């Protein structure tokens, strides 16, 4: 059976083709201002990469915030359903999924059979989302990719106070002026986010097996801070960016 999953995120659109449980093609392009066009481009790219015709796909499944706009899929699955299927495929014993995107963060507690027990979403405030890290990287004049390595090289436990992106930008600049190192500031930024995510996790209940999906999973500094706060390993799936797209494709194989 061949299915396609397309995750229409606020920043990037991701697509995968799943053939008998194996990912045979994947692609990512920036969403920019036309979510529908981005989704079509991603679909065309994975079809040609996999050498598969559109007619051969049993189901095209759409997920992500762009579901509102992209209406030509065969079926839709919400972000929670997609993320937990993706996470469960990567680590079968997953109890809690942390799904962080550019503009939102979800914490999903799973039942042993993989169904959703309860979840928490924050998509109203940027303080716990990927955007926060990007804005802080800009204030530090380093790239988002560099944030992780800088943070891992920290030499002291610097704490940041501001939670709002707008106020945190000013705080980072005053910390630079106060001669704090970029490494320590990056660490402080990540610890701040880790603590905010921790409060979401407490609301769904603490567990032992955490799996992180979504773009910021590449940020080793963030993951290290989260492991420190939870005193548990935070596992990041390979292809963490594509987990929700894969989850959507899995959804297409059900029923």
Partner 1 sequence: MIANYGYEDGSGHYYIKIDTAKCAECEGKSCISVCPEKLFATELDDFDDEVVIIREDVRNTLQTACANCKANGKKELCLQNCEAGAIGFSW
Partner 2 sequence: MAEIEKVEYWRWTESNWKNPDIPDWHGSLITAGVDIGSTSTQAVILADGIPYAYSNMRTGSNSPDSAIGAINWAMKDTGLTLEDITYTIGTGHGRVNVPVSNKTVTEITCHARGANFIYGPSIRTILDMGGQDCKAIHCDENGAVTSFMMNDKCAAGTGRGMEVIANLLAVRVEDIGDMSFQIDEEPAPVSSTCVIFAKSEATKLMRAGWSKEKVLAAYCHAMALRVARLLERNGMEPDFAITGGIAKNKGVVKRIERIMGVEALQPKWDTQIAGAVGAALIAKDLVEKKRAKAAQ
Pair of tokens at residue 127: 């303080």
Which lies closer to partner 2 via its Cβ, residue 197 or residue 234? 197
35 belongs to the binding site for partner 2 (CB under 8 A):
no
195 belongs to the binding site for partner 1 (CB under 8 A):
yes
Question: Residue from 144, 163, 227, 253 that binds partner 2 (CB under 8 A)?
Answer: 163
Query: Residues 115-121: contacts with CB within 8 Å, 24+ apart?
Result: 116/80, 116/81, 116/84, 117/204, 118/204, 118/205, 119/80, 119/204, 120/200, 120/201, 120/203, 120/204, 121/80
Reported as half-sphere exposure (CB side, CA atoms, 13 A), residue 206 has a value of 9
Which lies closer to partner 2 via its Cβ, residue 36 or residue 103? 103
53 belongs to the binding site for partner 1 (CB under 8 A):
no
13 binds, among partner 1, partner 2, none (CB under 5 to 8 A by kind): none
Question: Residue from 23, 135, 213, 248 that binds partner 2 (CB under 8 A)?
Answer: 135
Which lies closer to partner 1 via its Cβ, residue 30 or residue 205? 205
Which lies closer to partner 2 via its Cβ, residue 24 or residue 162? 162
165 belongs to the binding site for partner 2 (CB under 8 A):
yes
Pairing between strand 2-8 and 12-19?
antiparallel
- Measured CA to CA, the distance from residue 148 to residue 221 in angstroms comes to 4
Count of positions (residues) in the chain: 255
160 belongs to the binding site for partner 2 (CB under 8 A):
no
Contact 89, 110 (CB under 8 A): no
Contact segment (CB under 8 A) with partner 1 among 22-30, 142-150, 192-200, 238-246 equals 192-200
- Measured CA to CA, the distance from residue 104 to residue 169 in angstroms comes to 19
161 belongs to the binding site for partner 1 (CB under 8 A):
yes
Which lies closer to partner 2 via its Cβ, residue 53 or residue 124? 124
125 belongs to the binding site for partner 2 (CB under 8 A):
yes
Per-residue DSSP letter, 208: S
Contact segment (CB under 8 A) with partner 2 among 50-58, 62-70, 126-134, 241-249 equals 126-134
- Measured CA to CA, the distance from residue 44 to residue 75 in angstroms comes to 18
Hey, which residues does 62 pair with through a beta bridge? 6, 76
Q: Tell which residue, 78, 87, 96, 79, has the closest CA to residue 197.
A: 96
Which lies closer to partner 2 via its Cβ, residue 192 or residue 247? 192
Which lies closer to partner 2 via its Cβ, residue 81 or residue 130? 130
Contact 201, 87 (CB under 8 A): no
| Contact footprint for partner 2 (CB under 8 A) | 10, 33, 103, 124-127, 131, 135, 163-167
| Contact footprint for partner 1 (CB under 8 A) | 122, 124-127, 161, 163-164, 195-196, 198-200, 202-203, 205
């Amino acid at each position: 059976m061949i299915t396609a999953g397309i995750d229409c995120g606020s920043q990037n659109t991701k697509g995968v083709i799943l053939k008998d449980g194996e990912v045979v093609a994947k692609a990512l392009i920036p969403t920019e201002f036309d979510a529908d066009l981005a989704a079509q481009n991603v679909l065309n790219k994975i079809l040609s990469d996999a050498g598969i015709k559109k007619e051969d796909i049993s189901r095209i499944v759409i997920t992500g915030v762009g579901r509102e706009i992209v209406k030509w899929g065969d079926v839709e699955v919400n972000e929670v359903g997609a993320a937990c299927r993706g996470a469960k495929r990567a680590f079968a014993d997953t109890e809690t999924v942390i799904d962080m995107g550019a503009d939102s963060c979800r914490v999903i507690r799973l039942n042993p059979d993989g169904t959703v027990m309860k979840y928490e979403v924050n998509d109203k405030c940027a303080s716990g989302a990927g955007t926060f890290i990007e804005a802080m990287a800009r204030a530090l004049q380093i790239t988002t990719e560099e944030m992780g390595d800088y943070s891992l090289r920290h030499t002291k436990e610097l704490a940041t106070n501001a939670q709002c992106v707008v106020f945190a930008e000013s705080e980072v600049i005053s910390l630079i002026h106060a001669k704090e190192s970029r490494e320590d500031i990056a660490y402080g930024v990540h610890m701040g986010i880790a603590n905010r995510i921790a409060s979401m996790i407490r609301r769904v209940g603490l567990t032992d097996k955490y799996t992180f999906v979504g773009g910021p999973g590449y940020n080793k500094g963030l993951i290290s801070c989260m492991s420190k706060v939870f005193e548990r390993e935070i596992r990041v799936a390979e292809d963490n960016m594509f987990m929700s797209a894969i989850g959507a494709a899995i959804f297409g194989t059900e029923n």
